[in-house]
Structure 1
Amino acid sequence: MNLKEKYTELLTTIGFEEKQIQRNWLDLEKAYSNKSRHYHNLTHIADMVKCYDTYLQKLEFPNEVLYAIFYHDYIYKSSKKDNELKSAEYALSILPENIVFDSQLVFDAICATQQHKHHIIEDINWLIDFDLKILSRDWDEYQIYFEQIRKEYSIYPDFLYKPGRAKALKHFLENEFIYQTEEFRNLYEEKARINIEKEIALLL
């Protein structure tokens, strides 16, 4: 099932009308395909959906988590600090009325992808981990990732970007864990930390 089919199936299940689904998909595709999106694009969404499919049985609110995946980076401007909040607000604004759906969970889940901190709701922890799985890729793939991030922040010169990026990466290392679920910690924590340390070394 491709991304559009997955999206269509989800919105049909939630209670969107067919014409709304088509229009919303075109809006979503346009947002994630903006030429400034080198990493935060449909490829990133597709990677997260793969994680979602793998760990579907672990989720208590699968529809809400999948909807949050599709919309968590809907608004993305590298010069702004409220992308997640704006994305969460937008995601809720297009929901049909009278649906059986935990919109508050969606809102909290999308906002949680800003700080990536442990959440009382376990489904949100899964979403955070899906978002950060990229950190544990093989070095060649990880390198492509951080080069894509650099392109998204191309408006900033190196003397501003490098310290800012290093600070953000060090924040991950200072936390007791990068990943919020035990499963991801066991599988990916060590690799992610090694990658982050290597990137920081390149920035300094």
Structure 2
Amino acid sequence: MGVNSVDAPQWFCSSFVRSARGAGATAPDEDLRAVGQSLLDRWDKPGRHFHNLRHLADVLGRVDELSQETHDPDLVRLAAWYHGVVFDAEDRAAYARKGGEDETASAALALTELEGLGVPDKAAERVAHLVNALVRHAPDPTDFDCAVLCDADLAMLASEPQRYKEYLNDVRDEYAHIPPADYVRARIAILTKLLERRSLFSSPLGAAWENPARQNVDAELQRLRKEQSKLAAAEASQGSSASTGATR
């Protein structure tokens, strides 16, 4: 089970305040906590079955695991807070962006809010840049901060089997309104592109997640291809039955 903004551990807001201070924020603590709570409320909106507070906690935890590889860990942590804060899984948005996360809008929100908290322009712009870099999950290998954020966001792919199964169920629940055949087709396309990449993870420490992630993704892809074949056969059977009925 994930956490919600009412029962969220106290460390959530404290973590945001520390990172904002580390980035140079000059606003009073109460203002920092108010923005942190606003972000928690966004992450906890109804319909966010996977891209929720549990995911935020997971990404922040992974960033901490890889923090020694970053140039500015506080900016990477702030980017984690904002990376999927603007989210809409409705059909139109999901198909337009091949996912509900709106990195461009999230980056713009980060820039506005962080500058409003007194974070220096250069630092706020850097956070926005990191958030935008998640659009393709193909970071510049020389940008260690970006590599760490991307790896932290993809780390779920390397989960142990039971957690990976929960992840798949949560993602499907987020897009429950999408017909099975359309969802399976889109998911297959995403997984195929992932497996075609030379590497899924870009940071040295993140490289340890490569093999388990590929095993999970490959196993899921095989299951989805079987499901796609069954769905196609069922559709063909229904079409045949309808045609036969029409000729009677």
* Structure 1 match to 2:31: 20
Question: How far 1:56 moved relative to its partner?
Answer: 2.1
Aligned length: 203
Is 2:76–2:149's contact at 8 Å kept on the other side of the alignment?
A: yes
Mapped to 2, the partners of 1:77 and 1:66 lie a distance apart of: 22
Mapped to 1, the partners of 2:105 and 2:166 lie a distance apart of: 27
* Structure 1 match to 2:5: none
* Structure 1 match to 2:119: 99
Mapped to 2, the partners of 1:26 and 1:122 lie a distance apart of: 29
Is 2:212 the counterpart of 1:201?
no
* Structure 1 match to 2:11: 2
Larger Rg: 2
159-168 vs 114-123, which deviates more? 114-123
Q: Which of 135, 138, 148 does residue 126 from structure 1 map onto?
A: 148
* Structure 2 match to 1:51: 62
**Structure 1 regions of 5+ residues with no counterpart?**
none
The verdict on how the C-alpha distance between 1:137 and 1:19 changes in structure 2, with shifts beyond 3 A counting, is same
Q: Deviations over 1:71-112 (max 9, x none)?
A: 101101124227011100111111236633522321221112
RMSD: 1.7
Q: Deviations over 1:58-78 (max 9, x none)?
A: 211112101100010110112
Question: How far 1:154 moved relative to its partner?
Answer: 1.2
Question: How far 1:157 moved relative to its partner?
Answer: 0.8
Question: How far 1:143 moved relative to its partner?
Answer: 0.8
SS in structure 2 opposite 1:182?
coil
Q: TM-score, normalised by structure 2?
A: 0.77
Mapped to 2, the partners of 1:46 and 1:122 lie a distance apart of: 21
Mapped to 1, the partners of 2:119 and 2:161 lie a distance apart of: 44
Q: TM-score, normalised by structure 1?
A: 0.92
The verdict on how the C-alpha distance between 1:132 and 1:176 changes in structure 2, with shifts beyond 3 A counting, is same
Is 2:88 the counterpart of 1:77?
yes
SS in structure 1 opposite 2:74?
helix
Q: Which of 125, 129, 139 does residue 108 from structure 1 map onto?
A: 129
Is 2:70–2:145's contact at 8 Å kept on the other side of the alignment?
A: yes
109-118 vs 154-163, which deviates more? 109-118
Mapped to 2, the partners of 1:192 and 1:58 lie a distance apart of: 21
The verdict on how the C-alpha distance between 1:103 and 1:22 changes in structure 2, with shifts beyond 3 A counting, is closer
Q: Which of 46, 52, 72 does residue 35 from structure 1 map onto?
A: 46
* Structure 2 match to 1:158: 180
Question: How far 1:161 moved relative to its partner?
Answer: 0.5
92-101 vs 109-118, which deviates more? 92-101
Q: Deviations over 1:20-66 (max 9, x none)?
A: 22321221111111111111111111112212222222211112101
Is 1:12–1:18's contact at 8 Å kept on the other side of the alignment?
A: no
